[in-house]
Amino acid sequence: TEQEEQQTSYAAQVDYYTKYIKKHGEWEFVKVYTDEGISATNTKHRDGFNQMIKDALDGKIDLIITKSVSRFARNTVDSLSTIRKLKEHNVECYFEKEQIWTFDGKGELLITIMSSLAQEESRSISENVTWGHRKRMADGKVSLPYSSFLGYKKGEDGLPKIVPEEAEIIRFIYRSFLEGMTTYSIAKALMYRGVLSPSGKEKWYASTVESILTNEKYKGSALLQKSFTTDFLTKKKKINEGEVPQYYIDESHEAIIDPQDFEQVQLEMKRRKKLGKQYSGNSLFAAKLVCADCGCFFGSKVWHSTSKYRRVIWQCNNKFKGQQLCSTPHLYEDEIKQRFINAFSMFFQEKDLILETVQMLIESISDTSALNTKIEKTIQEMSNTSALNQMHIQNNIVTARNKEEFDRRHDELVQQYESQKTIYEKLMQKKSNQQNKVKQLQQLVLHLEKADTPIDTFDENLWRTMIEKVTIFHDNRMFFQFLDGTEIEA
């Protein structure tokens, strides 16, 4: 393994086999091929092993000395197929521990038995390690891949400990996203600043930024066993979709991001994904201002970009497109902010009534029992249709039928299944939308309860958590629609 205490063992083994081969006068030493700290369960990433086989097939080697069958390969199929390939090229293998020569008549039988035992040993070790991991998860013990995880290092108590300079990078990413920047533009900003990625590379990707923005570890919680290994031989991993237990630990370690800010980011992430390509802004006003003439979003434009009169204005993205030009005016950011302050002041006057209404709305939307019943019914229908199709295929195997008749019925069942699947996906999307709306309304309640008085300066948090959209009319009127559905002209 790669553990420090075994480094001397590795060096000793290389030294041993170098001397072992050289002391045999009838052998000519080629080299020692090694794979340090790599599992023998498959040959995919074993560069030393693969090079040895290549050299043997190229005629550079005619005898391979190996410590044991388990060192050669712990996968029976790999072991036998490789040995047979070598035998075809007149290359023999000798396994010192078991004293097996592959050119011996009994060699292949013994290797099959020993390889199977080695494979089962690997399976046993894998299951024990997996059990240990899952036991730690069940006990709420959090472990991170610290070598490629930005913001934390392993503390003396074994728990994640904040790395201050890295935590500032994480806060910058979250802050920039909430200010309107896209994951792509944040990645560019990080590269411009010379910040290295979690894996220590100069290149940042939008997907890396998104994974940081959606990782609950940064709010001090941990969802354990998000994925699991499906096969101990291939080491193939799969996203956990309920096949094995997941464990969610709240306040498992010190947070870098405030939980409320983390939830705001998740809601904003879902809002932008719903908007798709319509969202491309780098401001908190992006995809919030709507033109009353055409329904398109307002976008930011820079006037006098190279002079002291430089101003950022917002206007309809379709203002000068098409035959029918939009008559809505352009807006300065200061004006938008002041109008929001006025709208919120009017909204705040009805604070108690709004809080009561929103709580009722949350209770109503939270109840997904009717929706769950429809989802369960659709899942059952999908299962029944799938079973009918399997039975139809099986019957055709037992008793061959007319091909056209078989295809027609098969296509009917496939179409029926796809139709049911579409209904299921729409129901699941509706449930997801309801759950997101509940979270948004809970954020609104949280911030409204905190507000003791109307605001006299622009508050970004209130803007993000309160406003659904702002509609701008040709006569400069602005209607602010709050998340609870309230509309106020300011």
pLDDT in tens, 112-133: 676 666 666 666 666 666 666 5
For residues 250-256, average pLDDT: 84
pLDDT over 90 at 318, yes or no: no
DSSP single-letter state for residue 10: H
Q: 3-class SS at 314?
A: strand
d(CA 366, CA 362): 6
For residues 340-346, average pLDDT: 94
For residues 438 and 276, which has the higher predicted lDDT (pLDDT)?
438
For residues 434-442, average pLDDT: 89
pLDDT of residue 348: 92
**Tell me, what amino acid is at 5?**
E
pLDDT over 70 at 134, yes or no: no
pTM of the model: 0.54
Structure tokens at 147: 């070598």
Beta strands 92-95 and 63-66: pairing type? Answer: parallel
Q: 3-class SS at 242?
A: coil
Range of lowest pLDDT (173-182, 220-229, 333-342, 474-483):
220-229
pLDDT tens-digit map of 448-480 = 888 888 899 999 888 988 999 999 999 999 999
pLDDT of residue 392: 86
129 Cβ contact partners less than 8 Å away, ≥ 6 residues apart: none
d(CA 378, CA 383): 9
pLDDT of residue 167: 94
d(CA 14, CA 292): 77
Write the CA distances from 389 to 132, 187, 208, 417, 418, integer angstroms: 42, 48, 42, 9, 13
322 Cβ contact partners less than 8 Å away, ≥ 6 residues apart: none
Q: CA-based angle 34:40:46, to the nearest 5?
A: 50
pLDDT tens-digit map of 32-84 = 998 876 554 455 668 888 899 999 999 999 999 988 777 776 565 677 778 88
pLDDT of residue 469: 93
Q: First and final CA of the chain: distance in angstroms?
A: 68
pLDDT of residue 136: 60
List residues bridging with 192 in a β-sheet.
none
Residue written as tokens 């802004």?
281
Contact predicate 427/371, CB 8 Å: yes
Backbone angle region of 352, left / alpha / beta, with phi > 0 → left and psi within -120 to 50 → alpha: alpha
pLDDT of residue 427: 93
Q: 3-class SS at 308?
A: coil
- Dihedral sign (CA 186, 191, 194, 198): positive
Q: CA-based angle 351:472:490, to the nearest 5?
A: 35
For residues 253-271, average pLDDT: 89
Confidence band, pLDDT 50/70/90 cuts, at residue 317: confident
pLDDT of residue 115: 63
Sheet holding 63-66: strands in order across?
63-66, 92-95, 100-101
Residue written as tokens 């979690």?
198
Q: Which of 159, 180, 174, 365 is nearest to 253 (CA)?
A: 159
Q: Which of 357, 337, 353 is nearest to 490 (CA)?
A: 337
Containing 160, the helix (H) or strand (E) segment is strand 160-162
Write the CA distances from 290 to 127, 133, 248, 284, integer angstroms: 56, 51, 39, 14
pLDDT of residue 132: 61
Q: Which of 137, 154, 140, 128 is nearest to 225 (CA)?
A: 137
Q: Which of 269, 276, 349, 281 is nearest to 312 (CA)?
A: 281
pLDDT of residue 141: 66
CA R_g for the chain:
32
